[in-house]
Structure 1
Amino acid sequence: MLTELSIRDFAIIDQISITFKEGLTVLTGETGAGKSIIIDAIQLLSGGRGSVEFVRHGTKKAEIEGLFIVERDHPIYRTGEAFGVDIQDDGMVVLNRTITNQGKSICRVNGKLVTLGIMKEFGQALIDIHSQHETQSLMDPDRHIELLDVFAGEGIRPTLEEYQQVFDKYRTLRKRYKDLSQNEQEMAQRLDLLEFQLRELQEAEMEPKEDEELAEERKKLLNYEKIYQGIHDAYYSLYGEQRGLDWLSHAMTSLESTADVDENIAKISEELANSYYLIEEMTFQLSSQMAELEFDPERLNQMESRLNELNRLKKKYGGTVDDMLQYASKIEEEIDEIKNKDSHLSKMESDIYELGQDAVLEAKAIHDIRMEAASRLGEYIHEELRDLYLEKASFAVDIRMKEGKEQDPMFEGKPVQLMPNGTDIVKFLITTNPGEPLKELHKVASGGEMSRIMLALKRIFSRHQGVTSVIFDEVDTGVSGRVAQAIAEKIYGISEGSQVLCISHLPQVAAMADTHIRIEKRVDNDRTHTAASELTHEEQADEISRMITGAELTETTVEHAKELLVMADKHKRNK
């Protein structure tokens, strides 16, 4: 959940910090007070497009920071691993967005600088914003297959993963087949290039790890004097009259004469003798090393020349000798494919056919799971719509396999197109008027109906999507009466599974709030400021009363507001 939001020098907000709690938080206030500006700020944390217009006049930059707390199994941990962002076991995720008055956007996740695209990945895993005027993912036909799979849950995941493994092999092999079956002129040019590259690599006669071994040997030759001096000094510190080994020998002899008298001295004498012979052996090794050391300028020149040659090849074929050897092996296989193109194409055709049929079988299994999930989803949606007084509405999930081309795999006598998530095209269809045909969601015209349909869908999908904070920006526009009460109850229902932040002008929604925050606009020293304050129970009743009348408080409206609060408490207890 979003626990803390800090905004500085953003639009008409100079500085504001809001602490959010679990459950349903409702933000109310006069039009223009800055409620939607707060949502705009949160949207920037989810990767929304920034603008220099957001920077408060007369300041250098606008800054928004949000602190989120997530559960240990939240998908955000996988996102963090994918992009190298450390998320501790305490589940704290801090998103920070700065926009300068020069139009530059700076994004950070847990203090690490990231691109806007990466911030969007984090933000969309944490925040789900819904607005009356935006095209929402729930209304986007391209997202419906993803939403249906989310609803299907664990039942579809293993089958989808198996399909994707087969599909990846199928797609890769199709690309290789296409590349190999290009026109003769292109293939001949490709063959000439590969043969030249292979010849150049083979003529270099490289050995595995050769570059590493040469670099090590070169390092020793370049440091010959330093190495020789170190060995020389060490050897003559140990060997010779009145030197290390000589004194150790004296010490060992002195102890040996008393070893048979004292058991402790005997142990020390034995350990000293062992040390003496060990150091003596090291002295012999140092002597051998010193004798073998030889500075060969010609060898150094040869190594420099060889390393230069390898570095030249690395710029063309790989970062290391092993990479270049691997590349040589790869192009050798490709040369063989081109020279024996017909036999390779025939083998590929057979493999593509078999992989295609395997993929179609997996896709059919996915299709069957989706059909079953679509039936259940339809039942749930109809139940939600009835609660929102759309009992005559009809909802359906249209699933059909996408027709393919002649060369695509066949299913039941027809070619089907294989796609990353199967062969299905999924669309959510609805009609709110009996006798009218089902239409795609985004073609439903009425704003009030759209609000209710969206809430019904969100009520279902919020349980499956894992988003920590759901934000509604005036999605209840255009409704009143019993529908307004039903919407309030639905929004509260969503807050039972996710934190919900809601901007609303409906008294019924405000009464349902677990936390009610009033946004006010003030003018100090000829500058406009926005302030936020959490309301007490009595203040909440007064605010709801103002929302009812839009003018001064009266005893009647205050009583009505208190009655709404009592009804809301009763609904929560019943839930």
Structure 2
Amino acid sequence: MLQELIIQDFAIIKKIDIQFFNGLTALTGETGAGKSIIMDALGLLLGNRGLSEYVRSGCQKALVQGLFTVEKNNQALVNKFCQKHGIDFSDQNLIIQRELQTNGRNICRINTQLVPVSILKQLGKYLVDISGQNQSQSLLDPSTHVHLLDEFGAEQIAQPLATYQSQYQIYHKLKKQLANLQNNQQQRAQQLDMLQFQVQEIQTAALQVNEEEKLIDEQKKLANFERIHSSLQKAYTYLAQNNTGIVEQVSDVLKAMQNISEYEDEYAQIAQEIESAYYDLQDSQERISQQLELQDYNPTRLDEIEQRLQLIHDLEKKYGNSVAEVIAFGEKAQQQLQQLQQEQQDPQQLQEKLHHQTQLLQKAAQQLSQNRHQTAKHLTQSIERQLKSMYMEKTTFEVRLTPQDYTEQGNEVVEFYLRTNPGEQLKPLAKVASGGELARIMLALKTELAQYQPVGTLVFDEIDTGVSGRVAQAIGEKMAQIAQHVQVLCITHLPQVAAVSDQQYLVKKEISRQHTVAAIANLNPQERVDVIAHMLEGTKVTAITRQHAQELLRLAHDN
């Protein structure tokens, strides 16, 4: 519950410190006095949008701080949330602070821990529920009705809904896979064809690492065959020509030196060197002879090499800068091809899975529908009972469930129908309900949901607009009834509602140093009589009016 709200330099509020208590608290005051500003400030602590225009004129920043005590039935959820976000929650209290600056900057803290605004919004749903005229209007949107029905019947609906949604997720995924498969079959076929072509082209080439370098060497030899053959032939002739060949001449030189080697060591040394050269030349002559015998010009082989090199160059243009890169590309393409072939699903097989999942989903939907229909009956009875107590005894309320395609929320549309006068047809709520009727229906729902509320504070912001007399009295009593389960704060212009409150605050404007500021006062019993008398008759308060106010208060607190 909200224990304290401090507001400083916010709109026309200079500084106020409001203490709140259990039960029903009414905020009263003339239109424009600042009641809604207090609700705007509270909304900031719950993550609502903060505007720099909220900062009071002449100030640099506005500050709003709230002290919340978390109810026992909600402490586990809040504790888990705080642990997740590193927020201290050791004393079961939360001090939420938000600072707005004129430059647009927001500073948010929870128990002194800096947090983003989004965390305030997430935490706020565990603390406060605000119902205003806008939320009453939200009843006109049928899409909200299923959530209200499920909230009312949470004990019966939560588990079947969770089961259904789990089955729906699988069903939705299979439907999407089948649609994608059907839509992408042509694209997948094109990708398969491309990969198969690439793999086959590279595998057919049967490339070898370093093959290109060897072929280039062989190509050079064949392209220069005549030059190579001529040079080898010339070298062989110089070495081996009879009588005049270099080898024969060196042999003669060797013999000459050997004839005198015994006379001088130097001669012997020279003879040895010439002998070594002679054998080297003889070996070279033999090797050149062998090379000449191996020389065989084959123009067909040259064509083959050039064609092979052209193939390699073509593959390198497509798949890489070298043979090694082309081979690596082929291996990767082979892996992709295998993976794509493995992932390729048979549409028929997928349709069978979808058919089976549809049966499971249908079963879950039937259970959910059964529980919702039962809950709808209970909600109908409860709302009609509540409406009767608010003088709508001739009103018929009905929850209709109409079949539709499977969605995340089920396979039925939930919509509230209403008949305000006997003999008329039931019609959708949006077509028949007035503002006052919407407020009472919203209040009836809140009354029924109060004991299940996950929050500790309910706020009603002028939802009683457009009603008066005994209906206003009934609305006040209904709020008091809700306040037996949770703390209730209400902004009201109705004296009947103010009278049944446990605490009443008066918000009013004051002039301070030529500036308008909002002030708030917790009224004592006598002050409440005066204020309620003004609410009854306006500016002219008579003894009869005051007596009427006293009677309202007495009746409210005797009940």
TM-score by length of 2: 0.70
1:518–1:165 distance in 2 versus 1, CA, 3 Å: same
Structure 2 distance, partners of 1:430, 1:95, is 41
Note the alpha carbon deviations across 1:460-516, whole angstroms, 9 max, x for none.
122323222111122222222211111111111111111111111111111111111
Aligned to 1:527: 515
Structure 2 distance, partners of 1:136, 1:95, is 29
Structure 2 distance, partners of 1:434, 1:466, is 37
Structure 2 distance, partners of 1:443, 1:11, is 38
Paired residue secondary structure (2:400)? strand
Does the alignment pair 1:34 with 2:34? yes
Structure 2 distance, partners of 1:30, 1:73, is 37
Aligned to 2:123: 122
Kept in 1: contact 2:29–2:507 (CA 8 A): yes
The equivalent position to 2:365 in structure 1, one of 358, 363, 384, is 363
Aligned to 1:71: 71
Aligned to 1:492: 480
Aligned to 1:148: 149
Q: Which residue identity does 2:358 align to in structure 1?
A: G
Matches within 5 A, 1:303-318: none
Aligned to 2:400: 398
Kept in 2: contact 1:385–1:391 (CA 8 A): yes
Paired residue secondary structure (2:399)? strand
**Mean Cα displacement is larger for which, 54-63 or 133-142?**
133-142
Paired residue secondary structure (1:467)? coil
**Mean Cα displacement is larger for which, 423-432 or 105-114?**
105-114
Aligned to 1:564: 552
Paired residue secondary structure (2:167)? helix
Structure 2 distance, partners of 1:372, 1:525, is 63
Q: Which residue identity does 1:439 align to in structure 2?
A: K
Structure 2 distance, partners of 1:48, 1:38, is 13
1:83–1:443 distance in 2 versus 1, CA, 3 Å: farther
Note the alpha carbon deviations across 1:502-549, whole angstroms, 9 max, x for none.
111111111111111111211111111212121111221122122122
Aligned to 1:511: 499
Matches within 5 A, 1:60-459: 60-74=60-74, 76-77=77-78, 80=81, 84-86=85-87, 88-133=89-134, 136-184=137-185, 186-187=187-188, 338-340=340-342, 343-402=345-404, 417-459=405-447
TM-score by length of 1: 0.68
CA drift of 1:73 comes to 3.2
CA drift of 1:122 comes to 1.9
Aligned to 1:545: 533
Q: Which residue identity does 1:462 align to in structure 2?
A: A
Kept in 1: contact 2:10–2:55 (CA 8 A): yes
CA drift of 1:333 comes to 11
Structure 1 distance, partners of 2:12, 2:367, is 55
Structure 2: 5+ residue stretches without partners:
197-332
Structure 1: 5+ residue stretches without partners:
196-330, 403-416
Structure 1 distance, partners of 2:521, 2:193, is 75
Report the count of equivalent residues: 422
Structure 1 distance, partners of 2:141, 2:122, is 19
Kept in 1: contact 2:137–2:438 (CA 8 A): no
Q: Which residue identity does 1:493 align to in structure 2?
A: Q
CA drift of 1:382 comes to 0.6
Kept in 2: contact 1:69–1:93 (CA 8 A): yes
Paired residue secondary structure (1:39)? helix
**Mean Cα displacement is larger for which, 510-519 or 430-439?**
430-439
1:70–1:443 distance in 2 versus 1, CA, 3 Å: farther
Q: What percentage of residue pairs aligned between the two structures are identical?
A: 41
Structure 1 distance, partners of 2:338, 2:359, is 28
Kept in 2: contact 1:85–1:109 (CA 8 A): no
Kept in 1: contact 2:418–2:433 (CA 8 A): no
1:102–1:442 distance in 2 versus 1, CA, 3 Å: farther
Structure 2 distance, partners of 1:193, 1:555, is 97
Aligned to 1:22: 22
Note the alpha carbon deviations across 1:131-184, whole angstroms, 9 max, x for none.
235555544322211111111122222222222222222223333333344334
Kept in 1: contact 2:78–2:123 (CA 8 A): no
Structure 1 distance, partners of 2:70, 2:474, is 30
CA drift of 1:379 comes to 0.5
The equivalent position to 2:469 in structure 1, one of 465, 471, 481, is 481
**Mean Cα displacement is larger for which, 59-68 or 435-444?**
435-444
Does the alignment pair 1:59 with 2:59? yes
Structure 2 distance, partners of 1:37, 1:194, is 67
Paired residue secondary structure (2:418)? strand
Aligned to 1:48: 48
Kept in 1: contact 2:380–2:398 (CA 8 A): yes
Note the alpha carbon deviations across 1:265-307, whole angstroms, 9 max, x for none.
xxxxxxxxxxxxxxxxxxxxxxxxxxxxxxxxxxxxxxxxxxx
CA drift of 1:126 comes to 1.9
Is the radius of gyration larger for structure 1 or structure 2? 2
CA drift of 1:552 comes to 4.5
Kept in 2: contact 1:79–1:121 (CA 8 A): no
**Mean Cα displacement is larger for which, 90-99 or 472-481?**
90-99
Paired residue secondary structure (1:488)? helix
Structure 1 distance, partners of 2:160, 2:60, is 53
Structure 2 distance, partners of 1:72, 1:551, is 45
Aligned to 1:8: 8
Paired residue secondary structure (2:9)? strand
Note the alpha carbon deviations across 1:322-341, whole angstroms, 9 max, x for none.
xxxxxxxxx99996563156
Q: Which residue identity does 1:143 align to in structure 2?
A: T
CA drift of 1:113 comes to 3.9
Structure 1 distance, partners of 2:138, 2:114, is 28
Kept in 2: contact 1:138–1:457 (CA 8 A): no
Paired residue secondary structure (1:18)? strand
Kept in 1: contact 2:136–2:442 (CA 8 A): no
Structure 2 distance, partners of 1:175, 1:193, is 26
The equivalent position to 2:451 in structure 1, one of 449, 455, 463, is 463
